[in-house]
Each structure stands twice: as structure tokens, then as C-alpha cells.
């Protein structure tokens, strides 16, 4: 008789906006190199270490199409190797500085950094053959992990003004996935866990976007039509949405959207006592489409890991993320405490830090076991915990995170009562049968759209709505033409629109993380789209096109060279219009 009391599904979400050829530091290429060095190679090392020891990680990891395009790019590979070599040199210079000052402990830490980055160079060049995406693909091909896709550029679906735009984001996401991983995806990471059901929608802005309400499809309908099996939602979405509008008073456009949704939302009756420890079928369509499963992100295991104040990364012995030896330099201090000012941080002690992951991992495993035991006792069923985190938490934000992750996966694999699983494997063994309706919302502050739609970001949505309408008009007029020049113009315009639609720009503005950079990027992509759209219209109507415009097209194709398979006809028609 099986002793298994439930399953554990670890889900990692890997994403960065497109930064190649858009600056180096602090928000350009160095950001991508940092995450590759500090998270993606360490994650690969962790998974391979487990496999070598006889364990299968069975992790579900989402790698967004825009992230994959960048890490597969030859320019990234060259720059990444240079970045790692530069970090080795920085560590050598730090060692010399510390030795001159008689600071032996810091000098020893600098030597550790030299060894650390030298190991990364060896792993990147020799273990992974400078092919990070290929290494993830191999792990999936061997059955050890499941890779899921996402929207092409991590667009915020509920606020896009056109279902055709959502369709194009998903199509490009699936196309990119097939090209990189050699098979169709089964799962989809919903950007920002942002969902919108089917209802009569109009633009939240009074001066941009559709002003007459029209029927929009529920996000899950696109997944069903694309052959996807599941996506991930945040815990509050499961409750039905009555408390999701707490931020609506902050901005009139938000209030408009909330009132539109609330006036038409009719939740299915089984809204009470929904447990996050089982997947559900999601449907907002009356047409009998195949429902798509949703796994619910577990809040309890989530906060235990990601919170710097209450979670494991806040342990005083761990390496501090924020304090660096110099601008863009290396780190030599420990967390000390979550309340400690940067100037009061104490020196990092690697041997003391190494003692903490085993204890933290054992605690986490027991917490997982307790959650599953309680659910089984109360429901009579085996549950599944969907523990979802940003991939960059492990290694980038939390230096010791990959070691903790290795131990958690090992401890859980060794416990006969807990079964590690990918999301697809869980669905294959236990198909959900309960159909639920979900409210409009996200995992952002207030569980609605405030982070992405507010007085600081409204102007971006005006640009997005104008560009979406123009792209559809261009596709209707020109997409069927056989002219290669015209097709190249339209393809680059499509790339600029996809990049403009990235949810990162609003997030970086609203959180003040990189406001100037995000504003510059949104302005750049909108301006490029408008110029290319005008060029396409003139060329398609056999009008004169300046030589400088052809030069501009070439510059855009070089600078924003992602998605070689983008197809302007994706914006032509909606494959399955709502009825």
C-alpha cells in the first residue's frame, strides 16, 4: 500500500525583458549576465548534481520566450564570457586592495570569488558548451524537468486592447518554444498571474483604445485553443474576487475596469472552501470549450522562501544582496539582520553560511509534509502543493538559494510520503474535475492592475493601444503581399510592438526600480513602431521611401533581432471569435 500523502510541484519562473543592445549597466546587458551567472547556471548545476546522485529533480520551470531568445543569442554568449572574465579580474584587484590594507578575511573572500567565477567559466564553456538553453532542453529530454512557455514578451494580458494581440503573444511564445525545445509546450506561465474572464470590455482610458464595449474572450480560452493544458494562478484569485478592488480608488481608469468586470462576473456556485492544494478546471466560456487546468500558487510555502524579512533568505548568516564593495562590485558582507543598515553589515563568513541551508531545507520539507498531512486528514484526498517562485531568487537574490534548493529536492525525494512531480505529471495522474470561474486580477499589489495601470503608466497604454490598432490595420492591408521588403518591414514592426507590450516597463516605473530606463525603452519601441508602420504604408502603396528609412529598418533588425519566426498575419484575424 502506498505511503504517499501528496505531491510537491516546484515551479520556477524565469524572465528578463529584452536588454541586448539596450545598455550595459545597471539595467542592460549586465543584468542578463548577472542572472545567467548567479541563477541559470547554478540551477543547471543543481539539477545535474541531483541527477548524478540518482535523484530526478522533477521541477517545472518557465523560461519566457524573450529570455530564451537572449540566452541563445551569439552576442550574449560572447559578452557573457567577457563578463565572467571581468569578474575574475575584479576579484583579483579586490584581493590586492585588501592585502594592502591588511584585511586578510576580505582578501580570502576575494579569492573565493575568483574561484567562483572561474568555475562558472568552466561550466559555461565546457559543461554546457556555451548553450544554456540547450542544457535545459537536454534535462527536459531526459525527463528530469518540465519547461513551460509564456507570452512572447511577458505582456500583461488583461490590459491589452485586442484579443488579436493576446493571440499573437501566445503564438509567438509557442513558436519560440518549439524552436528552442523541439516540442510543443504543455504549460503556460501567465505573466504576472494576470487573468481576465470573458465579458463585455472597453478601454479603461477615455482617450485611447476601444470606447464601445465588445465581447472579449477569457484568457483560458486562448490556452484551450492553443492546445495548452494548464497555467498558474495566485492564491487570492481562487477566492472569487470580492476583495480584489481595494486599490480601485487610486486611479479612475482602474475603477472603470473594476466596475465593468464586477457588473458582469457570475461566479460558479462552488466558490466556498476552495483549497489551493488541488488543481481546478477554469472556464468563463459558455461554448463548451475544453477547460484548461489551473494550479494554485501556495501562499504559505511561498512567503517562507521569498520573504527577506520572514523567510529563509533573511537569515543573518547569508550573503547580503545589497551591499557591494564598489559600484557594480562584489559582495563581502552578510545579511546580519533585516533591520541592519548597510554601514553596519558584518563580514560574510562562508563556513557559517554553509551551515544554514540544511536546517532551512529540513524545516521546509517538514512544513510541506505538515500541509499535505493536514489536507489529507481534512479532505480524504492526496493534495499537491504548487510552490512557485521567481527563478532569479535562487542564486541572484539569495546566493545560497541553489544549495537550499538542492537539499529540499533531495530531502523530498528521500521521503516516501511526499512525491515530487512536474505539473504535467500531476495532471496525468489525477485529472481535475471541478470547474471554477476566476475573477479578473493578478498577483500584484491589491490583486488587481494598479502596478501596471496608474497615473505614471497611463501614457504607455495609450501608445500600446494606438500601436495595436495600427498593427491590425497594416496586417489587413498588407499581410497577404508576397513582397519580401514589405514583409521585412511588417515583421520588424511586429517585433517592436511585442517589445512595447512587455509588462516590465510599467512594473519598473511603478516600483521605481528603473524608472528612467523603462520610460526610455517604452518610448523607443513606440517610436520605432510608428516609423516602421509609416514606412510599410508608404512602401505598400508604392510611394517613395527614403534611403534613411531603409537604414533605420536595418538598425532595428540588428538591435532588436529576436523572434526570427514572427508572422505579421497573426494580427490579421482572431482564429476563434467569441460568440
Hey, which residues does 155 pair with through a beta bridge?
A: 502
Q: How far apart are CA 112 and CA 119, in angstroms?
A: 11
Which among 381, 390, 549, 573 is annotated as catalytic? 390
Active-site residue flag, 242: no
Q: What is the largest CA-CA distance in the chain?
A: 78
Q: How far apart are CA 280 and CA 507, in angstroms?
A: 29
Active-site residue flag, 390: yes
Which among 69, 163, 192, 392 is annotated as catalytic? 192
Closest by alpha carbon to 172, among 453, 543, 567, 579? 567
Number of Cβ within 10 Å of residue 108's Cβ equals: 12
Q: How far apart are CA 138 and CA 145, in angstroms?
A: 9
Q: How far apart are CA 31 and CA 47, in angstroms?
A: 23
Closest by alpha carbon to 76, among 568, 573, 516, 561? 561
Per-residue cell: 341: 543598515
Phi, psi of 92 (to 5 degrees): -65, -40
Contacts of 151 (CB under 8 A, 6+ apart): 64, 65, 157, 169, 170, 173, 191
First to last CA, the chain: 50
Per-residue cell: 355: 551551515
Give residue 22's Cα distance to chain centre: 20
Give residue 300's Cα distance to chain centre: 21
Per-residue cell: 321: 544582496
Residues with catalytic function: 192, 390
Amino acid at each position: 500500500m502506498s505511503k504517499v500523502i501528496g505531491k510537491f510541484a516546484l515551479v520556477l519562473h524565469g524572465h528578463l525583458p529584452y536588454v541586448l543592445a539596450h545598455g550595459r549597466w545597471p539595467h542592460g546587458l549586465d543584468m542578463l549576465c548577472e542572472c545567467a551567472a548567479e541563477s541559470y547556471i547554478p540551477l543547471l548545476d543543481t539539477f545535474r548534481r541531483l541527477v548524478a546522485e540518482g535523484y530526478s529533480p522533477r521541477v517545472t520551470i518557465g523560461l519566457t520566450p524573450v529570455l530564451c531568445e537572449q540566452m541563445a543569442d551569439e552576442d550574449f554568449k560572447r559578452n557573457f564570457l567577457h563578463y565572467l572574465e571581468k569578474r575574475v579580474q575584479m576579484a583579483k584587484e579586490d584581493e590586492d586592495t585588501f592585502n594592502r590594507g591588511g584585511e586578510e578575511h576580505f582578501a580570502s573572500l576575494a579569492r573565493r570569488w575568483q574561484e567562483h567565477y572561474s568555475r562558472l567559466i568552466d561550466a559555461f564553456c565546457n559543461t554546457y558548451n556555451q548553450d544554456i538553453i540547450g542544457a535545459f532542453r537536454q534535462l527536459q529530454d531526459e525527463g528530469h524537468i518540465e519547461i513551460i512557455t509564456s507570452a512572447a514578451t511577458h505582456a500583461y494580458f488583461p490590459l491589452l486592447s485586442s484579443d488579436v494581440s493576446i493571440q499573437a503573444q501566445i503564438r509567438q511564445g509557442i513558436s519560440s518554444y518549439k524552436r528552442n525545445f523541439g516540442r510543443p509546450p504543455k504549460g503556460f506561465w501567465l505573466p504576472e498571474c494576470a487573468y481576465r474572464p470573458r465579458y463585455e470590455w472597453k478601454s479603461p482610458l477615455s482617450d485611447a483604445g476601444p470606447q464601445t464595449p465588445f465581447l472579449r474572450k477569457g484568457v483560458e480560452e486562448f490556452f484551450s485553443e492553443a492546445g495548452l493544458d494548464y497555467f498558474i494562478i495566485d492564491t487570492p484569485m481562487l477566492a472569487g474576487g470580492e476583495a480584489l478592488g481595494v486599490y480601485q480608488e487610486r486611479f479612475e481608469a482602474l475603477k472603470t475596469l473594476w466596475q465593468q468586470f464586477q457588473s458582469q462576473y457570475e461566479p460558479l456556485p462552488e466558490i466556498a472552501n476552495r483549497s489551493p492544494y488541488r488543481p481546478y478546471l477554469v472556464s468563463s466560456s459558455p461554448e463548451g470549450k475544453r477547460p484548461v487546468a489551473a494550479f494554485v500558487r501556495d501562499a504559505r510555502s511561498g512567503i517562507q522562501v521569498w520573504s527577506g524579512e520572514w523567510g529563509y533568505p533573511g537569515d543573518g548568516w547569508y550573503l547580503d544582496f545589497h551591499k557591494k564593495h564598489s559600484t557594480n562590485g562584489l559582495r563581502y558582507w552578510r545579511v546580519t539582520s533585516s533591520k541592519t543598515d548597510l554601514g553596519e553589515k558584518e563580514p560574510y563568513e562562508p563556513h557559517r553560511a554553509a551551515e544554514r541551508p540544511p536546517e532551512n531545507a529540513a524545516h521546509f520539507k517538514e512544513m510541506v509534509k505538515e500541509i499535505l498531512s493536514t489536507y489529507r486528514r481534512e479532505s480524504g484526498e492526496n493534495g499537491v502543493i504548487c510552490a512557485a517562485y521567481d527563478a532569479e531568487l535562487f542564486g541572484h537574490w539569495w546566493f545560497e538559494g541553489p544549495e537550499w534548493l538542492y537539499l529540499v529536492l533531495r530531502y523530498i525525494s528521500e521521503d516516501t510520503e511526499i512525491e515530487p512531480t512536474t505539473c504535467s505529471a500531476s495532471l496525468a495522474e489525477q485529472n481535475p474535475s471541478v470547474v471554477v470561474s476566476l475573477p479578473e486580477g493578478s498577483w500584484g499589489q491589491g490583486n488587481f492592475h494598479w502596478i501596471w495601470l496608474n497615473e505614471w503608466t497611463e501614457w504607455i497604454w495609450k501608445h500600446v493601444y494606438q500601436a495595436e490598432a495600427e498593427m491590425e490595420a497594416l496586417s489587413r492591408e498588407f499581410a497577404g503581399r508576397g513582397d519580401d521588403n514589405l514583409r521585412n518591414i511588417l515583421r520588424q514592426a511586429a517585433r517592436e510592438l511585442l517589445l512595447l507590450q512587455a509588462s516590465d516597463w510599467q512594473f519598473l516605473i511603478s516600483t521605481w526600480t528603473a524608472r528612467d530606463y523603462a520610460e526610455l525603452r517604452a518610448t523607443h519601441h513606440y517610436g520605432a513602431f510608428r516609423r516602421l508602420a509609416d514606412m510599410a504604408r508608404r512602401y505598400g502603396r508604392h510611394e517613395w521611401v527614403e534611403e534613411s528609412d531603409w537604414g533605420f529598418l536595418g538598425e532595428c533588425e540588428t538591435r532588436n533581432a529576436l523572434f526570427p519566426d514572427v508572422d505579421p498575419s497573426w494580427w490579421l484575424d482572431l482564429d476563434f471569435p467569441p460568440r
